[in-house]
Amino acid sequence: MIVGVTRSTDRIDAVRFATRYGSIDVTATGFVDASGDAALAWEAGLACRLPEREIYGSQQLVVEHVDEGRRPDAEELAARIGAKAEAFGLHRQDGLAFFFPDRGTAVLNMTHIEAPLDPIAAADAQIRGKEQADRAVALLRAEFPEAFGRSRVRSYGFPGRRQTRWVAAVHQLTVDEVRAGTRFPDAVARTAWPIELHDTPQGYVWETFGPDHVHYVPLRSMTPPDVHNVLVAGRCIDGDAAALSSVRVMGPCAAEGFAAAHVLDLVGKDSVHDVDLGALAERVAENVEG
Ligand SMILES: Cc1cc2nc3c(=O)[nH]c(=O)nc-3n(C[C@H](O)[C@H](O)[C@H](O)COP(=O)(O)OP(=O)(O)OC[C@H]3O[C@@H](n4cnc5c(N)ncnc54)[C@H](O)[C@@H]3O)c2cc1C
C-alpha cells in the first residue's frame, strides 16, 4: 500500500509502501500509476478528477452446485432479473452469469455498489455489496430452481471498482473522440469496446459501435502535466466519464501499461513530455496499427 510520496518540484523521487514486514521506500527514475484509483498521483498532490455522479462498481461472486446444463439463456436471465430484482431487494435490475463448463460453477455479475474512496465508507460498501450478492443468489435459486436450486456462494471477489478517481492529464479523452474513432498522433492503445457507463443503480449505458469501429488512447491522456517522470495506465487515465467507460477495459489497460514502460525506457532521465513519438510508435505498433 502506498503511504507516502517524496516529490521535488517536477518529479517523484520515491514512494513509501507499507508491507506486512514493515515499510519500504522505493526510488526510481520513473513511475507508472496503475492503481486504478490514481492513488500515487493523489498522494503526490497531482491534479485528479472525481466522477460528477456515482459510477457503480459490482460485487462479483462465484456460485457452486449449479446445473449448467439447465441454465437459462442470457436474455431470459436478464429479463427475469429485471422483473424480480425489486422484490428481492436488488438495486441492479439486470445481470450476467458466466458458466464454467463441467465444473458446476458460475461467476455472477448482478450487483451495483458504490465505490467510495473513504476507508470506512469503502468497508461499508463492501459489506452491502456482499448482501446484494446474497440477494442475487436467492433470486436465482427461486426463479431458476433447475439450474440454481442447489447453488450457494463459493467465494466473493474483491469489490469491483469501475471509475473512482483519475488524473487530470494533458489531454482528456472525450466521448466525441471515442465515437469518431479519432486517430491521435500519440496513440498508444486502441479498442472497440462499447461505452459502458454504470451511472445508475438499476442499469447501465451500453452503446455499441459499427463493425469497423476502433477508438484510440493518446499518450497525453496518460501524462500528468506537472511532472516529468510519471505516467498513468489503466482505469485512472484521463477521459470524460463516458469516454473512460469505453477504454477502462482490460485490453487497453494492458496496452497502456506496455506503452508507459516503453516511454520510461525511451526517455531515461529526461522528461516523458519530450518522448520521441516516432520511436514510441514503432514500439507500440502492434497495439495501434492494422
Ligand atoms: C464488475 C466488473 C466487470 C468487468 N468486466 C470486464 C470485462 O468483461 N472485460 C474487460 O475487459 N473489462 C472488464 N472490466 C473492467 C476491467 O476489469 C478494469 O477496469 C481493469 O481491469 C482495470 O485495470 P487497472 O489495472 O487499471 O486497475 P485495477 O484492476 O483496479 O488494479 C489496480 C491495482 O492497484 C492496487 N492499488 C490500488 N490502490 C493502491 C494503493 N493505495 N497502494 C498500493 N496498491 C494499490 C490495487 O490493489 C490493484 O491491484 C470489469 C470491471 C468490473 C468492476
Distance between CA 255 and CA 259 in Å, rounded? Answer: 6
Residue bearing cell 518540484: 9
Percent of the chain with pLDDT over 70: 100
DSSP at 24: E
Which protein residues touch ligand 1 with a CB less than 6 Å away?
1-2, 34-37, 39, 57-58, 60, 109, 160-162, 234-235, 248-250, 253
Burial of 208 (0-12, 13-18, 19+ CB in 10 A): exposed
**Nearest to residue 163, comparing CAs of 233, 248, 86, 62?**
248
Residue 290's pLDDT band (boundaries 50, 70, 90)? Answer: confident
**pTM score, whole prediction:** 0.96
Q: Nearest C-alpha to atom 42 of ligand 1 is from which residue?
A: 1
Strands (E), 101-177: 105-109, 152-160, 166-167
pLDDT digits (tens, 9 = 90+) for 154-183: 999 999 999 999 999 999 999 999 999 999
User: Mean pLDDT across the stretch 214-240?
Assistant: 98
Burial of 287 (0-12, 13-18, 19+ CB in 10 A): buried
User: Mean pLDDT across the stretch 110-118?
Assistant: 97
Q: Which CATH number fits domain 58-160: 1.10.10, 2.60.40, 3.30.70, 1.25.40?
A: 3.30.70
Q: Nearest C-alpha to atom 23 of ligand 1 is from which residue?
A: 234
pLDDT digits (tens, 9 = 90+) for 240-284: 999 999 999 999 999 999 999 999 999 999 999 999 999 999 999
Strands (E), the chain: 2-8, 11-19, 22-27, 31-33, 48-49, 58-64, 96-100, 105-109, 152-160, 166-167, 187-191, 195-197, 205-207, 215-218, 230-232
SS3 of 143, please?
helix
pLDDT digits (tens, 9 = 90+) for 9-47: 999 999 999 999 999 999 999 999 999 999 999 999 999
Strands (E), 132-259: 152-160, 166-167, 187-191, 195-197, 205-207, 215-218, 230-232
Going from the Cα of 106 to the center of ligand 1, the distance in angstroms, rounded, reads 20
Ligand 1 closest atom vs CA 39: 41
Could you tell me what percentage of the chain is helix, strand and coil, using 3-state DSSP and rounding each to the nearest 5?
35, 25, 40
Going from the Cα of 234 to the center of ligand 1, the distance in angstroms, rounded, reads 8
Please compute Rg for the chain using Cα positions.
Answer: 21
The residues pairing with 107 across neighbouring beta strands, listed in sequence order, are 62, 98
Would you kindly state where each structural domain of the chain is located, as residue ranges? 2-50+164-288, 58-160
Q: Nearest C-alpha to atom 13 of ligand 1 is from which residue?
A: 249
User: Mean pLDDT across the stretch 58-70?
Assistant: 97
Which one is predicted more confidently, 290 or 143? 143
CB 222 within 8 A of CB 256: yes
Ligand 1 closest atom vs CA 58: 1
Ligand 1 closest atom vs CA 250: 11
Ligand 1 closest atom vs CA 162: 53
Going from the Cα of 278 to the center of ligand 1, the distance in angstroms, rounded, reads 30
Q: Nearest C-alpha to atom 5 of ligand 1 is from which residue?
A: 249
Which pLDDT score, from 0 to 100, does residue 270 have?
A: 98
Going from the Cα of 70 to the center of ligand 1, the distance in angstroms, rounded, reads 32
Percent of the chain with pLDDT over 90: 99
Q: Does residue 114 have a pLDDT over 80?
A: yes
